[in-house]
C-alpha cells in the first residue's frame, strides 16, 4: 500500500502525540523564533529517531527510512540545480530583464488593478519566484498606487494574486518543480494539468479586478518610468534576448522533451545570446552559473530584481526538500502516517473525499507550520497511495498540493510568505487577504472539481455510482 514499509504499528494515541509534537516544534520555531525550517526539521528527525529507539527499532532501520525518504527527492534536486543555472543564464543573456521591461510597457491608466494583476502574472512566470516579483515589481506598483492615491490593499491583493499565479505556472518555480518531482509527474504535464483550475481562477480574478479598477486620468507613472529606464541602462534589454530563449523553452515543452534537457537548452540559448553584447571569460561564466548573476547598476530596485540565480541560490530549497522528505520517510517507517490514515480510511473511499482531505491537509499545514514547501512535500508523500487506490493519476495530487498549498501561504499572517509580503509592501496580510482573489479561488475550484469530477485524470477505469465517482480495479 505504501512505498515505504512500516516496521511497527503504533497506537493511534502515539501517532497523534508524535505528529502534534513535530507540528509544534516546526510551527513554533518558524512563527515565533523566525527560524529557517531546516533547523526544526533536524530537531524533528532527532525526535523521531529517539522515539524509534525507545520502541526497540534498530538505528539501521531508522537510517534506511531516512535514506529512502530522501531518495525520492533526487529527481527534484537535479531539476533545481538546472533551474539555478537557467535563471543565472537568463539574467546574463538579458532574457528576464527584456521580458520584465516589455511587461511594464503594458501599464495604462485604465483598468489599473487588472493591469497590475496581468503584469505581475507575466513577470512571475518569467522570474519563477513569487517573492522576487513582489519584492521588486510589486514594490514599484505600491509606489505608483501611493502616487496616484488608490487603495494599497487592493493593489497588494492584485500583486500577490499575479505573483502566485506566475509562481504556479512557471517552469522556473521551485514550488512547481517540487510538486511535480516529489510525485514523479512530468513538469510540463503538471503545469498543463494545473491549467484546469488555474486558468478559470485567473479569468475570474481578472474580471473582478477589471470591475473594481479606477480610471487614472492624471496618473503620475514617474516611478515606473524610472524603473524601466534602469532596466534599459543595463544594456541587457533587446527583443531577441527575450524571444529566442523563451521560444526554445516553449517549443521543447510542447514537444514534451524531458525537463532537464529543456532547461539546459534554454540556458545554452541565453548564454550564446550574451556573446552578442560581451564575451565573458569562462571563469566569470562558471562563476555566474554557480553563484548567480550580480547586477551592479547602482539602482537598488533593479539590482534586487536582477541579482539572483545560480546553483548556490537553490541550495536552501534543496536542503529543505531532502530534510522534509527524510522526515516523511521516517514517519512512514515508524508507522505514524499509515496509522493516522488508517484512522480515517473509511472517509477516503470516494474521489471527492480523497481530494478534500488532501486539500485541507495542505491548507492546515500552511496554517499550523507556516511553510509552503512542507505543505507540498508532506501532502504529496502522505496521500500518494490514497490517490492510487482511488484510481486518480498522480498529477491530480500535485495540482491539489499547489492549489491548496502554494497559494495559501501568503494568506497566513505568520507564514513565511505572509511575513515577507507584509514587510516589503507595507500592507498587512489581513488587509490584502480579501483582495487576493486568485489565492482564494484556487482551493475552492480544486474542491469543486473534486466534487464534480471535472478535469480529473484517472489511471484506471472508473464508473459513476450514486452520484459519486468511484475507482474500480485499483487493487
Least confident of 19-23, 158-162, 462-466: 462-466
Residue 203 included in any domain: yes
State the chain's mean pLDDT as an integer. Answer: 85
Alpha-carbon distance 351 to 454, whole Å?
12
| pLDDT bracket for residue 475 (50, 70, 90) | very low
Q: How confident is the model at residue 472 (pLDDT cuts 50, 70, 90)?
A: very low
C-alpha cell at 138: 510589486
Q: Does residue 243 lie within any of the structural domains?
A: yes
Is 52 inside any structural domain? Answer: no
Give the whole-angstrom CA distance, residue 106 versus residue 238: 17
Cα gap 251→377, rounded to integer Å:
30
Average of pLDDT values for 2-9?
A: 80
Would residue 232 count as lying in a domain? Answer: yes
Dihedrals phi, psi of 5, to nearest 5 degrees: -80, 135
Lowest mean pLDDT, pick from 27-36, 136-145, 307-316, 333-342: 136-145
Please say if the pLDDT value at position 205 is more than 80.
Answer: yes
Residue 392: predicted pLDDT: 92
Nine cell digits for residue 95: 532574457
Would you state the pLDDT for residue 321?
A: 77
Cα 62 to Cα 86: distance, rounded to the nearest angstrom:
37
Between 40 and 314, the higher pLDDT residue = 40
What is the C-alpha to C-alpha distance for residues 457 and 214, in angstroms, rounded to an integer? 41
pLDDT tens-place string over residues 125-138: 887 888 878 876 78
Question: Structural domain of residue 243, as residue ranges?
Answer: 75-314
On whether residue 82 sits in a domain, the answer given is yes
CA distance 291 to 314: 10
The whole-number pLDDT of residue 132 equals 76
pLDDT, tens digit (0-9, with 9 covering 90-100), for 314-368: 888 788 778 887 888 898 899 998 888 788 877 777 899 999 999 999 998 888 7
C-alpha span between 342 and 57 (Å, rounded)? 22
In a domain, 245, yes or no: yes
| Predicted local confidence at residue 372, as pLDDT | 84
Residue 301 lies in a domain: yes
Overall domain count for the chain = 1
3-state secondary structure string across the chain: CCCCCCCCCCCHHHHHHHHHHHHHHHHHHHHCCCCCCHHHHHHHHHHHHHHHHHCCCCHHHHHHHHHHHHHCCHHHHHHHHHHHHHHHHHHHCCHHHHHHHHHHCCCCCCCHHHHHHHHHHHHHHHHCCHHHHHHHHHHHHHHHHHHHCCCHHHHHHHHHHHHHHHHHHCCCCHHHHHHHHHCCCCHHHHHHHHHHHHHHHHHHHHHHHHHHCCCCCCCCCHHHHHHHHHHHHCCCCCHHHHHHHHHHHHHHHHCCCCHHHHHHHHHHHHHHHHCCCCCCCHHHHHHHHHHCECCCCCCHHHHHHHCECCCHHHHHHHHHHHHHHHHHHHHHHCCHHHHHHHHCHHHCCCHHHHHHHHHHHHHHHHHHHCCHHHHHHHHHHHHHHHHHHCCECHHHHHHHHHHHHHCCHHHCCCCHHHHHHHHHHCCCHHHHHHHCHHHHHHHHHHHHHHHHCCCCCECCCEEEECCEEEECCCC
All three cell numbers of 300, joined, read 537598488
Query: Per residue in 110-120, is it b (16+ CB within 10 Å) or e — as a string?
Result: ebbbbbbbbbb
In a domain, 226, yes or no: yes
Amino acid at each position: 500500500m505504501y512505498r515505504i514499509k512500516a516496521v511497527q504499528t503504533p497506537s493511534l494515541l502515539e501517532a497523534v502525540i508524535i505528529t502534534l509534537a513535530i507540528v509544534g516544534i516546526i510551527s513554533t520555531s518558524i512563527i515565533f523564533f523566525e527560524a529557517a525550517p531546516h533547523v526544526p526539521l533536524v530537531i524533528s528527525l532527532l525526535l523521531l529517531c529517539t522515539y524509534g529507539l525507545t520502541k526497540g527499532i534498530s538505528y539501521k532501520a531508522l537510517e534506511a527510512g531516512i535514506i529512502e525518504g530522501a531518495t525520492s527527492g533526487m529527481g527534484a534536486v537535479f531539476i533545481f540545480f538546472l533551474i539555478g543555472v537557467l535563471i543565472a543564464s537568463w539574467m546574463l543573456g538579458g532574457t528576464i530583464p527584456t521580458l520584465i521591461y516589455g511587461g511594464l510597457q503594458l501599464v495604462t491608466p485604465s483598468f489599473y488593478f487588472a493591469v497590475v494583476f496581468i503584469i505581475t502574472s507575466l513577470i512571475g512566470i518569467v522570474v519563477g519566484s513569487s517573492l522576487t516579483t513582489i519584492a521588486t515589481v510589486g514594490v514599484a506598483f505600491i509606489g505608483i498606487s501611493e502616487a496616484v492615491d488608490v487603495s494599497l490593499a487592493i493593489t497588494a491583493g492584485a500583486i500577490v494574486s499575479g505573483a502566485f499565479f506566475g509562481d504556479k505556472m512557471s517552469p522556473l518555480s521551485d514550488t512547481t518543480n517540487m510538486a511535480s518531482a516529489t510525485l514523479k509527474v512530468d513538469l510540463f504535464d503538471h503545469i498543463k494539468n494545473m491549467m484546469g483550475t488555474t486558468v478559470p481562477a485567473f479569468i475570474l480574478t481578472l474580471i473582478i479586478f477589471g470591475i473594481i479598477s479606477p480610471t487614472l486620468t492624471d496618473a503620475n507613472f514617474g516611478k515606473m518610468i524610472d524603473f524601466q529606464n534602469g532596466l534599459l541602462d543595463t544594456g541587457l534589454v533587446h527583443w531577441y534576448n527575450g524571444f529566442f530563449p523563451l521560444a526554445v523553452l516553449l517549443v521543447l515543452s510542447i514537444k514534451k522533451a524531458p525537463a532537464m534537457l529543456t532547461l539546459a537548452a534554454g540556458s545554452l540559448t541565453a548564454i550564446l545570446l550574451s556573446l552578442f553584447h560581451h564575451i565573458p571569460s569562462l571563469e566569470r561564466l562558471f562563476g555566474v552559473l554557480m553563484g548567480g548573476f550580480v547586477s551592479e547598476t547602482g539602482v537598488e530596485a533593479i539590482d534586487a530584481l536582477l541579482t539572483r540565480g545560480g546553483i548556490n541560490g537553490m541550495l536552501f530549497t534543496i536542503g529543505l526538500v531532502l530534510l522534509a522528505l527524510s522526515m516523511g520517510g521516517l514517519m512512514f517507517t515508524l508507522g505514524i502516517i499509515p496509522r493516522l490514515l488508517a484512522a480515517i480510511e473509511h472517509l477516503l473511499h470516494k474521489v471527492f473525499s480523497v481530494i478534500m482531505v488532501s486539500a485541507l491537509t495542505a491548507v492546515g499545514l500552511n496554517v499550523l507550520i507556516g511553510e509552503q514547501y512542507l505543505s507540498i512535500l508532506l501532502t504529496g508523500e502522505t496521500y500518494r497511495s490514497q490517490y492510487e487506490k482511488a484510481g486518480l493519476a498522480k498529477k491530480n495530487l500535485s495540482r491539489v498540493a499547489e492549489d491548496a498549498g502554494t497559494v495559501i501561504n501568503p494568506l497566513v499572517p505568520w507564514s513565511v510568505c505572509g511575513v515577507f509580503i507584509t514587510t516589503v509592501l507595507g500592507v498587512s496580510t489581513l488587509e490584502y487577504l480579501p483582495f487576493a482573489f486568485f489565492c482564494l479561488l484556487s482551493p475552492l475550484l480544486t474542491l469543486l472539481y473534486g466534487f464534480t469530477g471535472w478535469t480529473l485524470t484517472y489511471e484506471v477505469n472508473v464508473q459513476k455510482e450514486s452520484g459519486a465517482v468511484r475507482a474500480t480495479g485499483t487493487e
